[in-house]
């Protein structure tokens, strides 16, 4: 089976850096996805990690440690528009479907 854990809520200040953690347990690892979802809107893809290490994409970076079953999403130079839910997801069923964590609601304050 699979289990994905993320903090429910986080608050950070505009201009700061925030790290959103995700731990997972899954039978057969096929990488890990991060999605962003603004309230009432569709989730949108942020990143996919399959190898250990940090991958950087502008202000957003994603890290994976397969041995620890751990990933994090790092958001730099926070902006108000970054206030959203961040969803961690792992492929399951042989990689044919996605299982999502419950999401971390990030609030960016002035």
Residue (16 or 98) nearer to another protein, CB: 98
Token pair, residue 81, equals 């528009």
Spatial CA neighbour of 79 closest among 38, 41, 40: 38
Q: Which is nearer to another protein, 58 or 110 (by Cβ)?
A: 58
Binding residues vs another protein (CB under 8 A): 8, 30-31, 33, 40-45, 48, 50, 87, 89, 91, 94-103
Please report how close the Cβ of residue 30 comes to another protein at its closest, in angstroms: 6
**Cα–Cα dist 6/21, whole Å:** 6
Quickly count: other Cβ atoms within 10 Å of residue 109's Cβ.
11
When the beta carbons of 62 and 78 are compared against another protein, the nearer one is 62
Nearest in space to 63 (alpha carbons), one of 5, 20, 108? 20
Three-class SS state of 82: helix
Q: How far is the CB of 38 from another protein (least distance, A)?
A: 11
Q: How far is the CB of 97 from another protein (least distance, A)?
A: 6
69 vs 103 by CB, closer to another protein: 103
């Amino acid at each position: 089976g699979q289990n994905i854990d993320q903090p429910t809520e986080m608050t950070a200040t505009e201009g700061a850096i925030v790290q959103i953690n995700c731990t997972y347990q899954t039978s057969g690892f096929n990488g890990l996805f991060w999605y962003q979802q603004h309230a009432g809107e569709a989730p949108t893809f942020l990143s996919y990690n399959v190898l250990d290490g940090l991958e950087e994409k502008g202000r957003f970076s994603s890290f994976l440690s397969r041995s620890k079953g751990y990933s994090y999403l790092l958001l730099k130079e926070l902006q108000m528009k970054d206030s959203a839910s961040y969803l961690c997801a792992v492929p399951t069923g042989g990689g044919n479907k996605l299982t999502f964590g419950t999401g971390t609601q990030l609030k960016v304050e002035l």
